[in-house]
């Protein structure tokens, strides 16, 4: 990938009439909203260095995959390290693109829920990223409302974690628009302990969810290691 000059640095230099630096500042490669993939990568690299290993035992599960690249927290690892994992997306209209551009990943067309229902209603927003099984969440987004209601198959989060159980390090990414805490609480932590959990609290829709997630995961031996404008990032175990 060609290096790209960091526009924030040079815009600030230009506005302030500063002299240019002698070494250029490059923009870091990232595909997420707020550099979540960079934060996760730094934690993983520190972890494997401490253990004297490499990233070969890594995989990811991204629930609410949406687009193959844009705002994807797994694509960085797919492209940089050649790692493959599981992408879960409920909207069937997005599956062809995921299959085409994320070849090697397992693509699951289903809604992840915490009930035993085989099928569930799914509410599609004009903004694909906001589609959800929670109709209230979709209707609350920018007054766009529900574009279409469809019925989709379901899968439980522990079923997905079972598929990744042979990997030493698992990144679990949960982005299901308003129901993230319920999925978190559905995990069998006695059996599955993903190393990294990235999750969207949507405090604007459900105030206090961030604190609920932090309190819950603290009881499961997870430490909050990152917070962005959109997501919380947790690491298994205690960190310095």
pLDDT (tens digit per residue) in 177-198:
889 999 999 999 999 999 999 9
The count of domains in the chain is 2
CATH number of the structural domain spanning residue 165: 3.40.50.150
Place 239 in a pLDDT band, splitting at 50, 70 and 90. low
Is residue 240 over pLDDT 70?
no
Same domain, 183 and 89: yes
Same domain, 71 and 178: yes
Tell whether 64 is covered by a domain: yes
Tell whether 169 is covered by a domain: yes
How many CB atoms within 10 Å of residue 14? 11
User: Which two tokens mark 20?
Assistant: 């240019």
Same domain, 73 and 98: yes
Tell whether 88 is covered by a domain: yes
| Structure-token match 């302990």, residue found | 193
Structural domain that includes position 15: 1-29
Place 146 in a pLDDT band, splitting at 50, 70 and 90. confident
* Percentage with pLDDT > 70 across the chain: 99
Same domain, 106 and 40: yes
Same domain, 23 and 35: no
Tell whether 165 is covered by a domain: yes
Rounded distance, CA 120 to CA 179, Å? 14
Same domain, 50 and 108: yes
Report whether 37 contacts 44 (CB < 8 A): no
Taking the C-alpha atoms of 199, 202, 203 and 208 in order, what is their torsion angle to the nearest 10 degrees? -50
pLDDT value for 53:
78
Tell whether 96 is covered by a domain: yes
Is residue 67 over pLDDT 70?
yes
Tens digit of each residue's pLDDT (9 = 90 or more) over 10-38: 999 999 999 999 999 999 999 999 999 99
Same domain, 74 and 89: yes
User: Which two tokens mark 220?
Assistant: 């499961």
Same domain, 204 and 104: yes
Same domain, 73 and 4: no
Q: Provide the pairing of β-strand 106-109 with 148-155.
A: unpaired
Is residue 55 over pLDDT 80?
no
What value does the CA radius of gyration of the chain take, rounded to a whole number of Å?
Answer: 19
- State how far Cα 207 lies from the chain centre: 20
Mean pLDDT across the chain: 93
What mean pLDDT do residues 170-179 have? 92
pLDDT value for 48:
87
What mean pLDDT do residues 138-164 have? 90
Tens digit of each residue's pLDDT (9 = 90 or more) over 79-109: 999 999 999 999 999 999 999 999 999 999 9
Rounded distance, CA 209 to CA 176, Å? 14
Same domain, 6 and 111: no
User: Which two tokens mark 109?
Assistant: 């067309």
Same domain, 97 and 19: no
How many CB atoms within 10 Å of residue 238? 8
Tell whether 143 is covered by a domain: no
| Nearest by Cα to 189 from 227, 157, 224 | 157
Tell whether 137 is covered by a domain: no
N- to C-terminal Cα distance for the chain?
A: 34
Same domain, 5 and 100: no
Tell whether 123 is covered by a domain: no
Give this prediction's pTM: 0.93
pLDDT value for 26:
93
């Amino acid at each position: 990938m060609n290096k790209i000059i960091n526009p924030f640095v040079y815009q600030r230099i230009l506005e302030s009439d500063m002299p240019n630096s002698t070494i250029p500042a490059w923009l870091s490669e990232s595909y997420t909203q707020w550099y979540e993939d960079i934060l996760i990568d730094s934690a993983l690299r520190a972890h494997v260095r401490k253990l004297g290993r490499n990233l070969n035992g890594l995989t990811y599960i991204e629930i609410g995959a949406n687009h193959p690249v844009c705002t994807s927290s797994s694509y960085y690892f797919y492209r940089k390290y050649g790692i493959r994992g599981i992408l879960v997306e409920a909207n069937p209209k997005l599956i062809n693109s995921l299959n085409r551009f994320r070849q090697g990943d397992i693509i699951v067309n289903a809604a992840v829920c915490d009930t035993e229902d085989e099928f569930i209603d799914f509410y599609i927003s004009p903004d694909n990223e906001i589609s959800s099984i929670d109709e209230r969440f979709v209707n609350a987004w920018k007054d766009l409302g529900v574009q279409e209601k469809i019925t989709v198959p379901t899968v439980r989060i522990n079923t997905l974690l079972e598929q990744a159980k042979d990997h030493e390090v698992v990144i679990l990414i949960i982005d299901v628009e308003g129901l993230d805490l319920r999925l978190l609480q559905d995990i069998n932590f006695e059996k599955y302990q993903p190393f990294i959990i990235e999750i969207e609290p949507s405090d604007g829709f459900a105030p206090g969810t961030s604190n609920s997630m932090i309190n819950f995961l603290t009881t499961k031996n997870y430490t909050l290691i990152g917070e962005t404008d959109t997501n919380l990032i947790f690491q298994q175990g205690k960190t310095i």
